[in-house]
């Protein structure tokens, strides 16, 4: 949906190991259109903090 909203005509593979740069690009496009990542309530834990730092 994000790619269609952005008018992207490039093929983004969702195979076994998609490039991280492609995933980051799609995430940036999604955020531009108001999408957000929904995560389980990880709270103020080491895992939760690491996750939020990774996707920032």
Number of domains observed in the structure of the chain: 1
Segment 46-52 shows an average pLDDT of: 68
- Whether 36 and 13 have beta carbons less than 8 Å apart is answered as no
Residue 29, exposed/middle/buried by CB under 10 A (0-12, 13-18, 19+)? Answer: middle
- Supply the DSSP symbol for 33: T
Question: For residue range 2-34, what is the model confidence (pLDDT) as tens digits?
Answer: 999 999 998 877 777 878 888 889 889 999 999
Residue span of the structural domain in which 42 resides: 2-55
């Amino acid at each position: 949906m994000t790619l269609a909203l952005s008018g992207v005509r490039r093929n983004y593979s969702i195979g076994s190991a998609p490039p991280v740069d492609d995933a980051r690009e799609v995430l940036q496009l999604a955020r531009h259109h108001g999408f957000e990542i929904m995560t389980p309530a990880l709270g103020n834990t080491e895992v939760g903090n690491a996750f939020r730092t990774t996707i920032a």
